[in-house]
Amino acid sequence: MLKGIHPILHPDLLHVLASMGHGDSIAIVDSNFPAASTAQGLVIDSPLVMGVDVILAVKAILTVLPIDTFTPEEPPVLAMQIVGQPAEIPEVVQLAAPVFKAEGADVALIERFAFYAAAKDAFAVVKTTETRLYGNFIIRKGVVRSDL
């Protein structure tokens, strides 16, 4: 463990997050998400991540990962719509929205298969033990600005 680093950010996950470049995305998904068959890149499902829900995973990841808010016409955070009820916001998305808002980002809901397609393009998929339905997010990485 490291001082100041959330304990679920284990070395493999930190390596993935640090390896991502501006514009790369990461999917943070629930326990029902078909991570292995959807992911083109890495699936992170270590015991440290598997013991937490998606909200805690998002909070921990956002302590080190900047969200790309540079391009307003492209949503930096995506979530899956409820099948057959696209106007309804899933409970877990409602709970996560303030976390993303604090980072300057809103959550855009997209259709289930569009979400799967976007997840296929993700740099990595982080699988959690979230059991609430539709607990899936894709976050596009921004930049760390330097005042040097």
CA distance 131 to 148: 44
Q: How many C-beta neighbours within 10 Å does residue 80 have? A: 27
Provide the token pair at 42: 């890495």
15 is catalytic: no
Set 6, 10, 15, 22: catalytic member? 22
Helices then strands, counting H and E runs in the chain, come out as: 6, 6
Catalytic residues: 22
